[in-house]
Structure 1
Amino acid sequence: MTEPEVLNGRRARAVRNDGAILTAARDVFVADPDAPIAAVARAAGVGISALYRRYPSKEALLGTLCLDGLRQFVGVAEAAGVVADPWEAFVTFLRGVVEADVHSLTVYLAGRFPTTPEHRDLAAQARVLADGILHRAQQSGAVRADLESTDLPMIYEQLAAIRLGTPDQIRELRRRYLDIHLAGLRATATSYGSLAGTAPTGAALGARWHRST
């Protein structure tokens, strides 16, 4: 085997290991945010030294995990943004976000690691894309006008809290209750009346990611 082939083999193995680590980290830390990093190594089937070569601390691993979640969110929003019909774009977006389950990371991991400029830049990009999808749907008359962009993360987190049964059952239940939410988000649903209370501020949502001292 030539040296380039050896290097390519090592790179491929490193990519596989990194994917396995991130998948395991998501499962382990969503189930138990206080779990030790060694539990991730066991779940990923890699040695602890291999894990530490990539992530020198639990905080570094959590930070990377949440970057991955933000990238998934951005990808979902970009794909939904090109859907021609504003309502269908909105539905595609919400369903994609819920299916990706990125907000389980918010529910369980917010405030457990220091955020970086990359986190903040990706979060800003995600916010702009999400706002654009919502506002286009509202301007078309498809989505109720009293819905605020900061209401949506609360819906995602409500659905992320559903963890009943097998993974397939959880997905089905989340789809079911998202459909109920979507029925209430249509402009025609305002016949029930205006939404009670006020939406959370962006500052209140963002504050959860700041580490407590």
Structure 2
Amino acid sequence: MSGRKAQAARNDELILQAARAVFTADPGAPIAAVAEKAGVGISALYRRYPSKEALLQKLCGDGLKLYIEVAERALADESDPWESFAAYLRGIVEADSSSLTIKLAGTFTPTEELGRDAARTSALAVEAHGRAVAAGVLRPDVTPADVALLFEQLASIKLGGDERAAQLRQRYLTLAMDALRVPPAHRDLPGPPPADAELATRWRPQA
């Protein structure tokens, strides 16, 4: 890309990263807070996204597309039913698209494209679940809705920085997967458990 196009692409990435951080912390935050966090002028932001609603639509659209990519990749692996389902679970938790659902659902008007992508994610979730149940590797009393809420529960873990939160989410996903699997499994959990000092940080006043 030319210098101008490359700069525009960098600005767009900065804007989207900032928007995710700002709006998952406070969905009611003004769009000016995104420009400030991204380090770009408000006019540059408005040239790319003419309204807060357009920015929210873009964020959630990207989240849906990432979900679809992760799910389709996991489902393409037909070598081991449990490993395929586990790859789907781990990939969705790592992608952290559920944080957008928790904070942004109902805060903007979905477009037709978002509706189509949402329908696709739902279909993939049902397919991943149905395949695992049919193969006898997933508890049959667990539903796709159970899994969706499990994703949201894991996304709510925000202890420490981004890297530590991601590590803890995978730790508790592993614990949950041992209970979901047929027969139940007992594996070493990834990452250390939260220390008392880490838990205590939640009670400190925010700067």
Normalised to the residue count of structure 2, the TM-score between the two structures is 0.85
Asked which structure has the greater RCO (Cα within 8 Å, sep 6+), the reply is 1
Runs ≥4 in structure 1, deviation > 4 angstroms? none
How far is the alpha carbon of 1:153 from its aligned partner? 1.1
Partner of residue 101, structure 1: 96
Whole-angstrom distance in 1 between the partners of 2:72 and 2:131: 14
Normalised to the residue count of structure 1, the TM-score between the two structures is 0.83
**What are the ranges of 5 or more consecutive residues in structure 2 without an aligned counterpart?**
185-207
Whole-angstrom distance in 2 between the partners of 1:77 and 1:48: 36
Query: For the Cα contact (< 8 Å) 1:137–1:143, is it kept in 2?
Result: yes
How far is the alpha carbon of 1:188 from its aligned partner? 2.3
1:74 aligned to 68, 79, 89, which one? 68
Partner of residue 44, structure 2: 50
Query: For the Cα contact (< 8 Å) 1:145–1:187, is it kept in 2?
Result: no
How far is the alpha carbon of 1:44 from its aligned partner? 1.1
Q: Secondary structure at the match of 1:14?
A: helix
Q: Secondary structure at the match of 1:78?
A: helix
**What are the ranges of 5 or more consecutive residues in structure 1 without an aligned counterpart?**
190-213
1:30 partner amino acid: T
1:25 aligns with 2:39: no
1:37 aligns with 2:37: no
Partner of residue 137, structure 1: 132
Query: For the Cα contact (< 8 Å) 1:29–1:35, is it kept in 2?
Result: yes
1:35 partner amino acid: A
Partner of residue 188, structure 2: none
Q: Please provide the CA RMSD for this pair.
A: 1.2
Partner of residue 201, structure 1: none
Whole-angstrom distance in 2 between the partners of 1:161 and 1:183: 20
How far is the alpha carbon of 1:10 from its aligned partner? 2.1
Pairs aligned (count): 183
Q: How big is each residue's C-alpha offset from its partner over 1:179-201, in whole Å with a ceiling of 9 and x where there is no partner?
A: 11101111224xxxxxxxxxxxx
Whole-angstrom distance in 2 between the partners of 1:103 and 1:90: 18
How far is the alpha carbon of 1:100 from its aligned partner? 0.9
Bigger mean CA offset, 93-102 vs 11-20: 11-20
Query: For the Cα contact (< 8 Å) 1:86–1:133, is it kept in 2?
Result: no
How far is the alpha carbon of 1:9 from its aligned partner? 2.5
1:63 aligned to 42, 54, 57, which one? 57
2:51 partner amino acid: S
Whole-angstrom distance in 1 between the partners of 2:120 and 2:10: 28
Partner of residue 87, structure 2: 92
Whole-angstrom distance in 1 between the partners of 2:141 and 2:92: 21
Whole-angstrom distance in 2 between the partners of 1:145 and 1:24: 40
